[in-house]
Structure 1
């Protein structure tokens, strides 16, 4: 028995540390009135933490469980960009393919400024089309016709008749329409729907990607809560179907870890799917916003951080990938209140202090 004592003592700090971060995370959740919170800390070769806590819906005792699904909003963009990189590798499309090359029938009504907009421009928020999001009032569902695929094409065509957006201080023109257009290009180039492309990627990575809020198909899954913490019942949202490639995936934390860990492995040249230089291009290849990822350089450490946040009005998810630290942080919540943002920020800072920045 004596031989076991050193082993037990070695394990004790790890156990205490794991318990303390879970306790801290749950205190953040309660303080900021977040119904459900899930988080993970990932390295290229291991998962350092993965925990889920809280309830699927406020005013119930339905505990959230490992494997429950969360809507990831704009973190969908990194999935879309990754699919694009796979299709570029297969030579089905090129980064410099222009939108109008694939949709020449729209050229007659498109402003000249958009003639040269490429797939790369769209995926890096440099497409110059006007902004559009879940809260934009026009167009309405009645303004467009046909199935959702047809409606997305009509939506893109309408935006191509409008004045271009002026770049911000970083040279970006952030618009979800960029990703609507990029999604259309990927569909045209591959001969598959966006849903099929996501399903194909999911099979390769052993991830069950789905769409819309999780409770639309299964009401026992986590419900989203709006900025007033009101639970949102199951309902199909036409805007989220228009923004399919921009922000409408839902997934479990445990499976999403596979996708994020793939980024870390790829940055080390340990992925067979894409070369190291492509992963570097996707996450850090362009200033301010690369392919589905915002990126900054930590002023203290000099480390490169790729980050994004998903928020479709009911769930907020935050992800950071830090190249030099070989760390990624994932935080999922099922609420979209201001206090939710504060809680995420507090937990992320604590995770970075404990596990590396």
Structure 2
């Protein structure tokens, strides 16, 4: 996963890698007032269901996925496809009803809760973090908005050797959110507030803790009552920190190597890559790795149709609405990462003509995006992440689907 200095450190940073991959392969559209105008390459939309399904299946096979699913929705209808099985070597085919871990797509949900609180006057984007968390370094200069946009300068706790070692040696450990925040706050800030950009899960964990402080109730309950229930997301959940299970039906997740050995690069070394391609090196099952280490930044669970519904609400204002929704879509700004043209805003990314996010936890990669101009939705998930060659599978497939639909 690529941070601002181009180094892969920690699974939860995978989102920005995928975002960078997508927008480096597609020219991002310009921002504007209200709804964003179509980007030049998105002037026309062409949907060929057979071609999309063929491209999806071909890439899922090329990327060595045990299973994967895609959903494309346009005004002309819905196109879906599944690939493979839910368990490596098993016989149960992937279905559209399968649950999976959505990783950093959870950030869009936490960010939306914060913006709802802003809309209700319970906090302000200009509030200093020290108002709520006096323990945060530079907290008297960091704003709520800078936490949302990853411009606080706070270090990313998921880049630490301590966390990655614990994930390998204590996979069932239930992490208290305060432990996660403390790990990030103990590291030196990477830059002064507002002077740079760095994808840091510490930001989103703090936002979750601040939401709990303001609301006086657990984040799981906040997400359920503010987002999941009102939007009818019946298959979407935010598990308790002691709960490492997935609702049935679900797809198992798989990963080659381990967290520590893949800190510097997602790709297997050449000899292991050859073994993986030959089928003599098998990935490990990460399904039951407790996701509490990602908490507000990435421990959500969903299904492909629920995630499609969510990203459409994210882009069309179903969860926010009004002026603040329009401002959210125009909050996206270019960010400097290893790959060019990535854009990030208030807990949301602009990916070509689509708004959304990507997510990865060990064993699961997912992409969700919605184009509010042409009303195109693309959602993809896969259950071996990263791929043996280091690519984020769902995001790679989403690139191909986007190119098929928009050209380029």
Query: Normalising TM by the smaller chain, what interval?
Result: 0.7 to 0.9
Q: SS of the counterpart of 1:88?
A: helix
The answer to whether the aligner puts 1:230 opposite 2:283 as a matched pair is yes
Paired position in structure 2 for 1:127: 152
Give the number of equivalent residue pairs: 318
**Partner residue in 1 for 2:359:** 310
Cα 1:262–1:23 change in 2 (3 A) is: same
Judging by fraction of residues, say which structure has more helix: 1
8 Å CA contact 1:119–1:185 kept in 2: the answer is no
State the 1:86 CA deviation. Answer: 1.6
1:205 aligns with 2:231: yes
Contact 1:316 1:334 in 2 (8 A): yes
Question: In the alignment, what sits opposite 2:26?
Answer: none
Unaligned 5+ residue runs, structure 2?
Answer: 1-46, 167-172, 258-281, 335-343
Q: Deviations over 1:135-174 (max 9, x none)?
A: 7424987xxxxx968x322442454354211379992122
1:190 to 211, 215, 228: 215
Q: Equivalents in 2 of 1:115, 1:158: separation in Å?
A: 20
> Hey, what does 1:165 align to over in structure 2?
190
Instruction: Provide the rounded CA distance (Å) in 2 between the counterparts of 1:53 and 1:243.
Output: 27
Q: Say what the alpha-carbon RMSD is for the aligned residues.
A: 3.3
Structure 2 equivalent of residue 36 of structure 1: 67
SS in 2 for 1:216: coil
The 2-side partners of 1:321 and 1:42 are apart by 9
**What residue in structure 2 maps to residue 292 of structure 1?**
347
The yes-or-no answer on 1:27 pairing with 2:58 is yes
What is the match of residue 3 of structure 1?
A: none
SS in 1 for 2:96: coil
SS in 1 for 2:253: coil
> Quick check: 1:258 aligned with 2:309?
yes
1:1-357 matches, within 5 Å, as: 17-43=48-74, 47-104=77-134, 106=135, 110-111=136-137, 113-133=138-158, 136-138=161-163, 151-157=176-182, 159-166=184-191, 171-200=196-225, 201-207=227-233, 208-211=235-238, 216-218=245-247, 221-227=250-256, 230-232=283-285, 234-237=287-290, 240-266=291-317, 271=318, 273-288=319-334, 289-295=344-350, 304-336=353-385, 337-339=387-389, 341=391, 343-344=393-394, 347-356=397-406
CA contact (8 A) 1:211 1:248 kept: yes
SS class of match (2:401): helix
Contact 1:57 1:231 in 2 (8 A): no
Describe the superposition over 1:218-271 as per-residue Cα deviations: whole angstroms up to 9, x where unpaired: 57521101035524255352xx314211011110001111111113333xxxx4
TM-score by length of 1: 0.77
| 2:25 equivalent in structure 1 | none
What secondary structure, in the 3-state scheme, does the structure 1 residue paired with 2:391 have? helix
Give CA-to-partner distance per residue, 1:301-330, whole Å, 9 cap, x none. Answer: xxx543532111210112233344432321
Aligned equivalents of 1:139 and 1:21: distance in 2? 37
CA positional deviation for 1:97: 2.5
Residue 192 of structure 1: how far off its partner (Å): 1.7
Helix, strand or coil: the match of 1:210? coil
Kindly state the Cα deviation for residue 343 of structure 1 after the two structures are TM-superposed. Answer: 4.9
Q: Structure 1 residues 250-259 or 314-323, which shifts more?
A: 314-323
> Quick one: structure 1 residues 354 and 236, their matched pair in 2 at CA, closer, same or farther if it must change by over 3 Å?
closer
TM-aligned CA distance change 1:153 to 1:222, over 3 Å: same
CA distance in 1, matches of 2:131, 2:66: 47
Q: Which of 1 and 2 has greater Rg?
A: 1
| Secondary structure of the corresponding residue to residue 157 of structure 2 | coil
